[in-house]
Amino acid sequence: MASWILIAAGHALFAEFDRIAPSRDHASDGDIGDAAHQNEVSDHNPDETGSVPIHDADKINEVHAIDVDADLRESDLTMERVVQFLLGRCRSGAEKRLRYIIYNRRIWSASSGWVQKTYTGASAHTEHAHFSFSYITSLEASTASYHLEEIPVSLTAADKTWLTSMVDARVDAAEAKILAVVGHPVELDDKIGDAANANRSVRDVLKDVAKLRGYLVGDATDTKNAAIPDTAPIARQTAAADLALGAPHAS
């Protein structure tokens, strides 16, 4: 078969699955169709040399579908949860790149308003989820986030203990920097002598303390009582861990 490429939107979705489930199984991942697909109309076929339902505006030989293995190997993140999250974004109009999704004997499509229907194809799609993409040039080329990191997941007791200890350690370090300001009563604009940032002040440190104490519950004003909740979006957990470890994080 002639050379082909997977559209950028497909690569982007694969990449997000890898970020939220770095240990996931890849055994059932796929893009280009096998011999069975080549004998039928399928988004898994290259659009210039294979049988496809739509032809896009360019002359690039592209595949417009991916299969993602259903085993994400995460304790509280399942393919069902990911599919339902993406369907919610599609139904709201926030996500326009997907044409249809097939998973576990069900199919949802943009053409039907993302209504769930029974899928009766040869494969039940229990081992993987199928995602077909738009053939519109701007959409197939888009690598914008699918926002999978916003899916809420439950933290284990070990997760909460680790995050709490790391945040507390950073808060203690921040408070120690404030106490290190000597010679006069502490003022909010006093510099703390941070070698990496000469302009860093007590006010800046207090802001960080508030952010660290309240980040996981979304309340940056609660510096004493904020607790790690049982569920929090992956992105918030990751950002809190980054803050606790001292990694750069945009405010």
What is the structure's pLDDT at 1? 46
**Residue 132 parent element (H or E):** strand 128-133
SS3 assignment, position 109 = strand
Nearest CA to 177 out of 164, 167, 191 is that of 191
Chain-centroid distance of CA 154 in Å reads: 15
Neighbouring CB atoms inside 10 A of 118's CB total 7
pLDDT for residue 220: 46
- pLDDT recorded at residue 236: 53
- This prediction has a pTM of 0.68
The pLDDT value recorded for residue 2 is 56
- What is the residue-level pLDDT of the chain in tens, covering all 251 positions? 459 999 999 999 999 999 999 999 999 999 997 777 777 899 999 999 999 999 999 999 999 999 999 999 988 899 999 999 999 999 999 999 999 999 999 999 999 999 999 999 989 999 999 999 999 999 999 999 999 999 987 777 777 777 777 777 776 776 666 666 544 566 777 777 777 788 877 777 777 766 665 554 455 455 445 444 555 555 555 555 555 544 443 33
Cα–Cα distances in angstroms (integers) from residue 123 to residues 102, 136, 231, in the given order = 10, 27, 34
Backbone dihedral angles phi then psi of residue 155, each to the nearest 5 degrees: -85, 140
Nearest to 154 by CA among 104, 216, 214, 212: 216
Q: In whole angstroms, what separates CA 143 from the centre of its chain?
A: 13
Helical H segments across the chain, by residue range:
8-20, 35-38, 79-92, 137-140, 157-179, 202-214, 234-245
Place of tokens 């077909």: 132
Query: For position 250, what pLDDT does the model report?
Result: 39
Of 99, 107, 102, nearest in space to 125 by CA: 102
Residues in the chain: 251
